[in-house]
Amino acid sequence: MTIDVTLLGTGSPLPSPDRAGPATLVRAGGLNFLFDTGRAVNMRLAASGVVPPMLTAILLTHLHSDHITDLNDMITGRWVMSPEPNPLPITGPVGTSGVVDAILAMLEPDIGYRLAHHEDLNVGPEPVVTDVDGGVVFDQGGVRIVAAATDHRPVEPTLGYRVEHDGAVVVIGGDGVPCAGLDELCAGADVYVQTVLREDLVRQIPFQRFLDTIDYHSTVQQAADTAQRAGVKKLVFTHQVPAPAPGTEAEWIALAADIFSGEIVMGIDLTTVSTA
Ligand SMILES: [Zn+2]
Ligand SMILES: [Zn+2]
């Protein structure tokens, strides 16, 4: 049995006409897991044939704005598109429940309009939020998901996730630099999806706020190191910083191929990678 991974959004905080914000769909055993909910996630989800009522759970790697800008759209979509009450499970690092409470407060006027307008709608959205700091966060239907703390300091807390199904393993590394938690998640993984940064390119942009991003993202080489050390089969680049100029994809892959001997996938929106 395979796990399918679709990169819904491969962008970063910088807007791009071609790259939606960070979000990754993982399909295993007939279940649909959405990791992060960046800009335009609902559009890319629709392109993948999935609508919010079909999500098994949303799992957040961290609370940086680019990863949660459209969480409100998922909460509203789940609510209004489900014919029956269909609470949305949301798992994330400590602090997630506070963010969801604030989103629900922001949506209060809209929730009021819809409750007043629709005769058959009697209750507002009811996301079920679980703040976690690691361990097994999902174990049903033959799918097990394990979370571990990652290193994206000074952003804390942050999580990476390992999805296991019938011997197949996918890791969502999230933002961050190599660390023991990430190594544990990645051990023997079939597919490892990692946010990456090209330090050589970022250094050419003389803007301190941009240079600061080097400290807390894996470079292409660091991601390759983690993948090689863990015995990963396929390394998938997402959330590339800066957004790759067309025609430069082979450069990114070559930098990693010097270090990592497995398959390297340069992600664009809606790339799907399978464990087998
Ligand atoms: Zn990010
Ligand atoms: Zn981040």
| Distance (Å) from CA 192 to ligand 1 centroid | 16
The residues spanned by each domain of the chain are: 3-274
List pLDDT tens digits, range 112-163. Answer: 999 999 999 999 999 999 999 999 999 999 999 999 999 999 999 999 999 9
Give the closest ligand to the alpha carbon of residue 154: 2
| Distance (Å) from CA 67 to ligand 2 centroid | 7
**Which pLDDT score, from 0 to 100, does residue 214 have?**
86
Residue 131, classed as helix, strand or coil, is strand
| Distance (Å) from CA 255 to ligand 2 centroid | 23
Q: What CA dihedral angle connects 22, 54, 276 and 228, to 10 degrees?
A: 30
| Distance (Å) from CA 74 to ligand 2 centroid | 20
List pLDDT tens digits, range 238-261. Answer: 999 999 999 999 999 999 999 999
Identity of residue 108:
E
Report the distance separating Cα 15 and Cα 21, nearest Å.
8
Which residues surround the ion ligand 1 when the cut-off is CB under 5 Å? Answer: 66, 175
Active-site residue, from 4, 66, 73, 190: 66
Clarify whether 66 is annotated catalytic. Answer: yes
List pLDDT tens digits, range 23-69. Answer: 999 999 999 999 999 999 999 999 999 999 999 999 999 999 999 99
What's the start-to-end Cα distance of the chain, in Å?
Answer: 8
Residue 25, classed as helix, strand or coil, is strand
Report the distance separating Cα 124 and Cα 191, nearest Å.
38
Report the distance separating Cα 224 and Cα 1, nearest Å.
26
CATH of 3-274, picked from 3.60.15.10, 3.40.50.200, 3.40.640.10, 1.10.1760.20, is: 3.60.15.10
pLDDT at 215 over 90: no
pLDDT at 211 over 90: no
Report the distance separating Cα 170 and Cα 151, nearest Å.
19
Q: Which two tokens stand for residue 74?
A: 């998922």
pLDDT at 213 over 90: no
pLDDT at 237 over 90: yes
**Which pLDDT score, from 0 to 100, does residue 128 have?**
98
